[in-house]
């Protein structure tokens, strides 16, 4: 039994590597980890934020994928994330894209906003998302096609609604359309540019 536990421990250590840091938002102490992973065809890094309680326990608040590359060779699903802290507000930016022939990989963006309350709890105050779950025309049976053309009858409107509901559940945000979606993607792309500038400075 001990040998099995040792093997599991060694396996987990090889798959994940974590870095723990502390920060203060308002008058509340938090800790966050940056965990790297390399599992099957996925490689990346995830950030997790914890609230430091008075009894020294850590209360999990949220996680954010900072980088993920999933797929084989040059055909990959790509996800990048960034966070910014402004006073007692934390804004999370996520961007999805695809490389090569990864036709059924998502493309889009999400912005989540968290706020530190007076009682030192952190709550999510908003989350906007726009996602195309596959390349246009890759799956003509999907309600996603009505993001690009008008749904003309009740059946098509229901297909679009089912698609949006599924995206909102999976990506945890309120779906936005048209100009609002373009604005969302631009804001996230600008945030990713700021992230790259901070890395190179």
Task: Give me the tens of pLDDT residue by residue for the chain, a chain 201 residues long.
Answer: 433 333 334 344 444 456 778 888 888 899 999 999 998 889 999 999 999 987 778 899 999 999 999 998 888 999 999 999 999 999 999 999 999 888 889 999 999 999 999 888 899 999 999 999 998 877 777 899 999 999 999 999 999 999 999 999 999 999 999 999 999 999 999 999 998 877 664
Helices (H), the chain: 2-15, 154-171, 178-200
- This prediction has a pTM of 0.86
Q: State how far the Cα of 128 lies from the Cα of 74, in Å rounded to an integer.
A: 30
Return phi, psi of residue 51, to 5°: -90, 130
Q: State how far the Cα of 165 lies from the Cα of 53, in Å rounded to an integer.
A: 36
> Cβ distance 65 to 94 under 8 Å?
yes
Which of left, alpha, beta for 137 (phi over 0: left; psi -120 to 50: alpha)?
A: left
Residues in the chain: 201
**Alpha carbon of 67 to those of 4, 56, 97, 131: distances in Å?**
31, 29, 12, 17
């Amino acid at each position: 039994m001990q040998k099995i536990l040792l093997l599991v421990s060694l396996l987990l250590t090889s798959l994940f590597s974590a870095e723990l840091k502390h920060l203060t938002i308002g008058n509340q102490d938090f800790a966050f980890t940056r965990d790297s992973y390399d599992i099957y065809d996925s490689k990346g890094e995830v950030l997790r934020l914890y609230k430091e309680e008075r009894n020294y326990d850590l209360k999990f608040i949220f996680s954010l994928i900072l980088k993920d590359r999933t797929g084989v060779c040059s055909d990959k699903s790509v996800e990048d994330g960034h966070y910014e802290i402004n006073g007692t507000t934390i804004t999370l930016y996520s961007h999805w894209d695809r490389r090569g022939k990864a036709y059924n990989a998502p493309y889009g963006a999400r912005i989540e906003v968290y706020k530190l309350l007076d009682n030192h709890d952190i709550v999510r105050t908003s989350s906007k998302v726009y996602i195309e779950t596959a390349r246009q025309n890759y799956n003509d049976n999907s309600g996603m096609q009505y993001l690009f053309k008008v749904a003309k009858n009740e059946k098509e409107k229901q297909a679009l609604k089912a698609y949006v509901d599924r995206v909102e559940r999976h990506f945890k945000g309120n779906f936005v359309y048209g100009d609002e979606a373009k604005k969302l993607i631009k804001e996230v792309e600008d945030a990713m540019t700021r992230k790259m500038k901070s890395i190179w400075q």
